[in-house]
Structure 1
Amino acid sequence: MTRFLGTGWFCCLLLLPLSAAAEEAATVAVEVGAISGELAPELERNIRAHLAIERLNGEPAPMSSRLQYLHRQASEQIEAALQPFGYYAPHIEAELIRGNEGWVARYRIAPGQPVRLDAVDLQVTGEAEDDPVMKKLEHSETLVPGAVLHHADYENHKSRMRSVAAERGYYEAEFGRQQLRVDPQRRQADIELRLDAGPRYRIGEVRYGESPVDLSLLQRYQPFANGDPVTTNKLLELQRYLIDSEYFSTVEVQPLWDEAVDHVVPIQVGLEPNKRTAYKFGIGYGTDTGARMSSSVRRRWLNRRGHSWNGLLRLSEVKSAVVLQYNIPGKVPYTDQYGARIKQETEDTDTTDSTLTSIGGFWQKQLGPWQQVLSLDWEQERYTLSDEENETTFLIPGGSWTITRADNPLNPSRGYRFSLTLKGASESLLSEANFVQGLASGKHVLSLSERMRLLSRADIGVTAMENFAVMPSSHRFYAGGDSSVRGYGYKELGPENSDGDVVGGRNLLTASAEVDYLVAENWRVAAFFDTGNAINSVNDPLKSGAGLGVRYLSPIGPVRVDLAVPLEDSGFRIHFTLGPDL
């Protein structure tokens, strides 16, 4: 008998490591679903986030006592996970079973009927009662009687009330009452939010740090006046305008709340002057221009009045230019400026060979959403057309008006750009002929789905001129190229002379439609159709091209590679461009 007992104990000791090894090899699987139908994804995500046992999902099982303890907590945790979505009386079926491959913790849930809002009281008091922006906070699209209670909507509206009050200068704003009362039995909830905004603080003295330009110029950058309400947006605008001026490398705008007197707060603007001279160099390639390089220098300020000058040298196989420009800040310097410029441009293509020298001035001003540029340029141009050398002199007044709207400047899902340019000349004003010319250009981006966009553009140009033969090459219309009718070369399309050489036209008509699709992060594929031509009459034929392309969404704008085929002619052409869609 003793021998038998001893043998039994020995066998048990041998089995212990095997049992421990089996326990160690077991894993835990956590299943969450609905008793019937499907559980809403947001509910499942929140349940798993609340479940402590979820941390063991797919992991080796702990001691069974630990697993049982976590399982007993699960129902309470599921209830807590459902309450933010308005479900306060769920039915939960929970089981923990041991299978052949490990433990399975299974939870089936019926959320039940949600709690709905009954009484909703949103109020703003104090000086904010006369502030229309603050009064809008007394209404919410989500916090309305009858709506399902979502705790996130309640918290978001509280945060919005606080943030809008702070943005609009209600520095002492605080909630007098903030309550969310839930009655699970009646499945009803009441909300009460009463924000006492208190007094509204106003802008006092604006103190600027060290600056290379006069205080009077800095004050013209202010998008507010002394005594205006303190708003975060206006302070951020001042910061952005000063940085964009390029006078400063660092700008910090801070209200000095501790120094406020009678609810008037001084503003401190910390400034760090920029390097006075900036140099830039660049190289690139485009199928319209061929290989290119550029070099520029900018003297950010010449004097205390903030005048500046910049020079540009641009070289390419097709177009080259040298430009010197003197700039004077306008009355509203972050949008307006005056300037004078002198430039020389050369262009050598299969259709044109020209050298243009010009001296002139411009006035740039913002008119609401439109940017207006008025100009006056004296131009002398030497050019060759049809193997004939010509030289013309014109004094050309002109104007352009541009508007751009986009949800994202570099990769818009929707937006548009429209520009109108008018210019002309008169024989009575130092010009060799009379002419009037207009060019309207438009681009549009429309989202067709989350991944698909429709991009369209059109250009319409018209010239009124009796003796078009003396019109210089730079003011004639041509078509073809990366931003025109793809499938044709740069300025390859237009009216031809008797020898078949393209000489440019009086009018321009081009249009394009393109669909692109996001196939992977930062990558799109595109299909497009372009049509148009430079023409002298409505009877002149249009040319068309179509093709496929690839776009890489780089940090500086889309890089495009297109393979285009001319539909009326033979061959194909590859187009390579870089830049924003609008």
Structure 2
Amino acid sequence: MFRPLAASLIAGLTLSTASLAAEVDVVVPGNYGDLTDDLRAASLSVRTVDEGTTDGQDLIAAAKADYRRMLAALYEAGHFSGAVSIKVDGREAANLSVLNRVPSVNRIEIQVTPGPTFRFSRAQIAPLPQGETPAEGYAAGELATTPVMREAAEKGVTDWREDGHAKAAVSGQQITANHAANTIAADIRLAPGPRLSFGRTLLTPETANSSVRAERIRAIAGLPEGEVFSPQEVTTAERRLRRTGAFRSAVVNEAETPNADGTLDMIVDVEDAKPRRFGAGVELSSTEGVAVTGYWMHRNFFGGAERFRVDGNIGGYNGDLDGIDYGISASLTRPAFRHPDMNLRFGALLQHLDEPGYRADLAEATVGIERFITENLTAELDFGVRLSSVDDAFGSRNFNHIIGRGKLQWDRRDDDLDPRRGLFAEVEAEPFIGFDGSDTGARLYGDFRGYYPLGESFSLAGRVQAGSVLASTLAQTPPDYLFFSGGGGTVRGQDYQSLGGSVVGGEVVGGRSFVGLSGEIRTKITQNIGLVGFVDYGYVASGPDFTGGDWHAGAGVGGRYYTPIGPIRFDVAVPISGESGFGVYVGIGQSF
């Protein structure tokens, strides 16, 4: 008996609350579908009601503000003779006072008559730097809209700033509407100001108290004192500071007033990040087992934004393979070494590998540089010593090498963990000079990826890998320098490292040349769920010239669960050549 009564009371309260919500209509006579949507999006009345506001005074205030907002939306679409009427419960909002208490509002009707579109009869902007032209669309005969005029003014100022005139600004504008001819005459005047050079690099008081030393902040920013001002140099300085990881935020501002000598001081404002950080990752494969990685990092090790990092990994646990891999590495990176875009780095590595075709213990120590050539292009060059002890089909051996390692990376992807558009290319060359009886040779490797969206939901992804080992013989090349195929990094569905260059004593040994091809089609079926279909192909040859080798392939489907840190990957694959079976692969991020 009491439950129906309670339900009735709740329903009554719900209906009573709903009845208090005002109704907002935006009426545009004629066929103006897109314009109607733009007007509704610009309406403060619509937004206020959508947010649940029912107070009459607030709704009247929103309605009165909509006169200006409706006209602004019309100007943005090129309508400069429109008429707007806004009625609140049948009374014109302009005649209402927000001071008179109105307990509630039932209906707001916004009637907009757009009128004809206007075109430029004149579109002038001056002066402009030599060789520069006005913004696209800012010309006589073109549709006149406020965004086009705004863009013309912004482009004019930007063009002058890029020519070194840091204090360029709009000095005046005259916009005249001819309603009889439906035209707009626009005249924008610019004040370039003097051509300036970079002055001193100053620090805010908060930045001066940073845990990173002041001279290191200036060196990392790398603002070129004495050179002609460039907005791109300011943007680059901010990117350099953020790239170190030592700062939570980094902003470079221009001084308000130039100096008497024609220079302009720059003011650096940074906020320190927490110096210590750690992280971990897990990947799972039905054939390779569980792989766990982790790291600890200090982002300001010596007070100069030096980054010290220790990485550890263990893999192969509980897989079909017998052995467990493990290793530890450490690196120290000093930014702004002899150039703001160059890092000096030191590295050390200890690793044990227990792979299907070999077992190896290795140690490596390197020193090198990392050069940021452009925002998307990075070069690396390292030199070091590498020692390893190996047991494989060729017997037990020791390798001793002096190594050089060069890498060039070009990255134009829109996202590292979940790319949908762009290109990625990485090429490596690693010559190794043997001593104490070890052979000399070189290892070359390339990784090329492309991504192309198909509408809003689908995208294509492709990958090509290729590598070759030159000069040294198969038996005298460290096995971890040779190429294998099969597993999560090459051909899903095939057993891990099941394909090599040849078989010696019943064991698969690596090859000296390799090609890997992968293709995926990806789609999102909800905001958080995605599906993937893929095909992988691998080819390995015993010689360096890619001839006389064997190939295998795999295909499958996968699921993606999208999180703020990237998609969680779950793939199931089967061989489409060779033996039957299947593989399961779980990790974070897309497969490539």
Q: Please give the residue correspondences for 1:502-541 in structure 2 after superposition, counting only pairs within 5 Å.
A: 502-536=508-542, 538-541=547-550
Q: Distance in 2 between matches of 1:114 and 1:343?
A: 69
Q: Distance in 2 between matches of 1:501 and 1:469?
A: 13
Distance 1:93 1:336, change over 3 A: closer
Equivalent residue, structure 2, for 1:42: 35
Larger Rg: 1 or 2? 1
Equivalent residue, structure 2, for 1:265: 264
Equivalent residue, structure 2, for 1:359: 365
Deviation at 1:476, TM superposition (A): 0.9
Equivalent residue, structure 2, for 1:116: 119
Q: Please give the residue correspondences for 1:218-233 in structure 2 after superposition, counting only pairs within 5 Å.
A: 218-233=217-232
Deviation at 1:475, TM superposition (A): 0.7
Please say if residues 410 and 580 of structure 1, whose CA atoms lie closer than 8 Å, have aligned partners that are also in contact: yes
Secondary structure in 1 aligned to 2:525?
strand
Distance 1:279 1:452, change over 3 A: closer
**1:437 has 2:443 as partner:** yes
Q: Distance in 2 between matches of 1:362 and 1:228?
A: 30
Q: Distance in 2 between matches of 1:513 and 1:39?
A: 44
Deviation at 1:334, TM superposition (A): 4.5
Q: Distance in 2 between matches of 1:307 and 1:25?
A: 63
Q: Distance in 1 between matches of 2:395 and 2:255?
A: 71
Q: Distance in 2 between matches of 1:308 and 1:75?
A: 56
Equivalent residue, structure 2, for 1:183: 178
Q: Distance in 2 between matches of 1:341 and 1:91?
A: 71
Equivalent residue, structure 1, for 2:321: none
Q: Distance in 2 between matches of 1:311 and 1:60?
A: 54
Secondary structure in 2 aligned to 1:544?
strand
1:545 to 554, 559, 562: 554
2:432 to 425, 432, 456: 425
Give, as a single letter, the amino acid of the residue that structure 2 aligns with 1:548.
Answer: V
Q: Distance in 2 between matches of 1:186 and 1:228?
A: 50
Secondary structure in 1 aligned to 2:503?
coil
**1:561 has 2:564 as partner:** no
Q: Please give the residue correspondences for 1:127-206 in structure 2 after superposition, counting only pairs within 5 Å.
A: 129=129, 136=132, 138-161=133-156, 170=165, 172-206=167-201
Q: Distance in 2 between matches of 1:343 and 1:299?
A: 20
Equivalent residue, structure 2, for 1:577: 587
Q: Give CA deviations for 1:182-201 in whole Å, capped at 9, x if unaligned.
A: 11211211111111122244
Q: Distance in 2 between matches of 1:140 and 1:390?
A: 68
Deviation at 1:278, TM superposition (A): 3.1
Give, as a single letter, the amino acid of the residue that structure 2 aligns with 1:323.
Answer: S
Q: Give CA deviations for 1:494-545 in whole Å, capped at 9, x if unaligned.
A: 2442565322111111101111112222443211111113222534332111
Q: Distance in 1 between matches of 2:334 and 2:422?
A: 32
Deviation at 1:316, TM superposition (A): 3.1
Give, as a single letter, the amino acid of the residue that structure 2 aligns with 1:438.
Answer: L
Secondary structure in 2 aligned to 1:154?
helix
Please say if residues 33 and 39 of structure 1, whose CA atoms lie closer than 8 Å, have aligned partners that are also in contact: no
Deviation at 1:329, TM superposition (A): 4.8
Distance 1:85 1:374, change over 3 A: closer
Equivalent residue, structure 2, for 1:462: 468
Deviation at 1:269, TM superposition (A): 3.3
* Segment of structure 1 superposing worse, 441-450 or 537-546: 537-546
Give, as a single letter, the amino acid of the residue that structure 2 aligns with 1:508.
Answer: F
Q: Distance in 2 between matches of 1:241 and 1:60?
A: 46
Q: Distance in 1 between matches of 2:509 and 2:54?
A: 82
Give, as a single letter, the amino acid of the residue that structure 2 aligns with 1:117.
Answer: F
Deviation at 1:271, TM superposition (A): 5.8
Q: Please give the residue correspondences for 1:62-101 in structure 2 after superposition, counting only pairs within 5 Å.
A: 82-88=74-80
Deviation at 1:97, TM superposition (A): 13
Deviation at 1:245, TM superposition (A): 3.1
Deviation at 1:322, TM superposition (A): 1.9
Q: Distance in 2 between matches of 1:419 and 1:477?
A: 17
Secondary structure in 2 aligned to 1:185?
coil
Q: Give CA deviations for 1:440-483 in whole Å, capped at 9, x if unaligned.
A: 21111112223221111011112234631222211110112222
Equivalent residue, structure 2, for 1:8: none
Q: Give CA deviations for 1:257-281 in whole Å, capped at 9, x if unaligned.
A: 2584344333343566777x63525
**1:290 has 2:290 as partner:** yes
Q: Give CA deviations for 1:155-198 in whole Å, capped at 9, x if unaligned.
A: 34335545676787756544343122111211211111111122
Please say if residues 26 and 39 of structure 2, whose CA atoms lie closer than 8 Å, have aligned partners that are also in contact: no
2:414 to 396, 407, 411: 407
Q: Distance in 2 between matches of 1:405 and 1:268?
A: 31
Secondary structure in 2 aligned to 1:342?
strand
Give, as a single letter, the amino acid of the residue that structure 2 aligns with 1:269.
Answer: V
Equivalent residue, structure 2, for 1:477: 483
Q: Give CA deviations for 1:202-260 in whole Å, capped at 9, x if unaligned.
A: 32222352577776655442443222344454334324423433555665544332584
Secondary structure in 2 aligned to 1:42?
helix
Secondary structure in 1 aligned to 2:136?
coil
Q: Give CA deviations for 1:21-43 in whole Å, capped at 9, x if unaligned.
A: xxx9899876666766x422233
Secondary structure in 2 aligned to 1:520?
coil
Q: Distance in 1 between matches of 2:160 and 2:313?
A: 50
Tell me, which stretches of 5 or more residues in structure 1 are unaligned? 1-23
How many residue pairs end up in the alignment? 540
Q: Give CA deviations for 1:68-100 in whole Å, capped at 9, x if unaligned.
A: xx99x99999788645423356799999999xx
Q: Distance in 2 between matches of 1:246 and 1:53?
A: 43
Deviation at 1:109, TM superposition (A): 8.0
Q: Please, what TM-score do these two structures have when normalized by structure 2?
A: 0.76
Give, as a single letter, the amino acid of the residue that structure 1 aligns with 2:477.
Answer: M
Give, as a single letter, the amino acid of the residue that structure 2 aligns with 1:545.
Answer: G
2:401 to 394, 398, 413: 394
* Segment of structure 1 superposing worse, 145-154 or 189-198: 145-154
Please say if residues 337 and 344 of structure 2, whose CA atoms lie closer than 8 Å, have aligned partners that are also in contact: no
Equivalent residue, structure 2, for 1:315: 314
Equivalent residue, structure 2, for 1:14: none
Equivalent residue, structure 1, for 2:390: 383
Give, as a single letter, the amino acid of the residue that structure 1 aligns with 2:33.
Answer: A
Identity over aligned residues, as a percent? 18
Give, as a single letter, the amino acid of the residue that structure 1 aligns with 2:358.
Answer: T
Distance 1:532 1:322, change over 3 A: same
Q: Give CA deviations for 1:361-396 in whole Å, capped at 9, x if unaligned.
A: 323334455422223333222223249433332333
Please say if residues 341 and 359 of structure 1, whose CA atoms lie closer than 8 Å, have aligned partners that are also in contact: yes
Distance 1:550 1:179, change over 3 A: farther
Secondary structure in 1 aligned to 2:509?
coil
